[in-house]
Structure 1
Amino acid sequence: MIGKDTGASTLIISLANEALQFAENTEDAEALNPGRDLLDLVEMLTSNQSIAFENVLNQTDQTAVNAKIKVDFNFQKNILSAIPPIPPKNNDERHQQTRENLPIFKSRHQIIDTINRNQVVVISSQTGSGKTTQIPQYIMEDSLLRQQNCRIYCTQPRRLAATSIAKRVALERGEDIGHSIGYQIRMESCISPITNLIYTTSGYLLRYLIGSKKLVFKSITHLILDEVHEREKVTDFLMIFIRDVLKSNPHMKVILMSATLDSDIFCQYFGNCPVINVPGNVKLKPCTSVKFSSRPDTKPKKWLPT
């Protein structure tokens, strides 16, 4: 985002910021022209301080107004108003068998039914159950059966997790990253106007939602907040912001996913929403004895559970 420089108008800076954000979320070359015009205007303001701001504004006023109209129209047309349809998935028996072996697969019907009947749902399951990669796909498959369009945002606490999970989901669906499955993080974006599932970081989504217009929620059908049990500050602020806009966006579904069984705090915060507990494959066994390594070259000696 462009900061506020000396003598620069708040209006022009806000216009340039909107153009930048729009340019990052579209591949339409014609729609990028207003953004370039605004960027040229801001560059002129910031590079040559000797030019009076009033003179520059008078010379480029019509360009800024036209760009504002085009940006608003194209942004609403391509991003806000157009929720993309779900494309058919390429059948791959190898990945399908892997998906069916995950613990979350047995609860897929319960999860989808609960999401369809409630605006907020908490899903608790152990790490490795497949909730991060599978639940968004269940929502997409259900939307395809219902012939409904959808756009899902799924947050991750770290950038590496967002990119790697997006690539894994795209692989399972048999398609290239950036089409119906993509990711968007700071300084890197791999999405298009037809992307249905976007993996992103909690911080990026928070800045995106706060910095965007309220109409942006009209293009989001599902918000999935993953790893909420970590209780990061950004995730907590994101939950506060989302709860405030739920009433004005009844179409939007919110799914909170946690790896712990203690989900009562999230359930109570969102008005006693339903909680789904999915068992995992991890079974903890007590450690009955401990022995030292007998190798003389091991320094310090390691504890080896048996």
Structure 2
Amino acid sequence: MITDTSVREYRTVREAAGPLIVVEKVEGISYGEVVKIITPEGEEKTGQVLEASTGIAVVQVFEGASGIDTSMTKVRFTGDIMKINVSQDMIGRFFDGLGRPRDGGPEVIPEDRLSVTGTPINPTARDYPREFIQTGISTIDGMNTLVRGQKLPIFSGAGLPHNALAAQIARQAKVLGTEEPFSVVFAAMGITHEEASFFMHDFEHTGAIDRIVTFLNLADDPAIERVITPRIALTTAEFLAYEYDMHILVILTDMTNYCEALREISAAREEVPGRRGYPGYM
């Protein structure tokens, strides 16, 4: 019989605060390690080690800490890091913020399983940004041009149609003068059910879904999931770009919701707040 010695299980939850739990009397715990939490009712939740020190681990719970107590809850440290199943078949599908199907379709048959932490890129090894990405928005194409390998923030205000603009860019964007396939990875964070329905209907109705991988994190999903969603989207984009030589445009909306999730987690960790309560490392 083979025993996996990397898996360790504890029943030493000291406290639960918001999306975080503190587990004491632990050994050999690593930062970023994936954790399985089994509640007294038998429900299994997934988490990740946010902070590891001598004898204590702070775990962020993706599904929220409801149902977790300090006496009967089992916390299982897997010895593995956060990964996502990736495949070219993800194009044309809708997923939640953790990469699980949201469109009622089957699970993706993975071609690979990649860490969401990514690999550092040497900035001096990058190609000089020179390939124009046409968005179809005249003010962007003419005055604030988007170029492959470049980030472009778009600032908006309350009541302005930023969702319609993001959807329009996802539908229309293309790289001119190349034969390489083009795809879009679209990740929406902290949006309402109405906004999620708008994106799904818009992409399906216009046929744009045929080239888009969509991740939708809803406002009633846990804040922890909102923080992971951009990493899931970028890992998927890197897979399609590096393995299939595709041009990939990543669209992330709404970054304000992402920042508020960071603020919520920072408050639960009792960190010293910065301006407007946001963490200083944001």
Normalising by the smaller structure, the TM-score range is: 0.3 to 0.5
TM-score of the pair, normalised by structure 1: 0.34
- Whose relative contact order is higher, 1 or 2, with alpha carbons under 8 Å and at least 6 apart? 1
Structure 1 or 2: larger strand share? 2
Structure 1 or 2: larger helix share? 1
TM-score of the pair, normalised by structure 2: 0.37
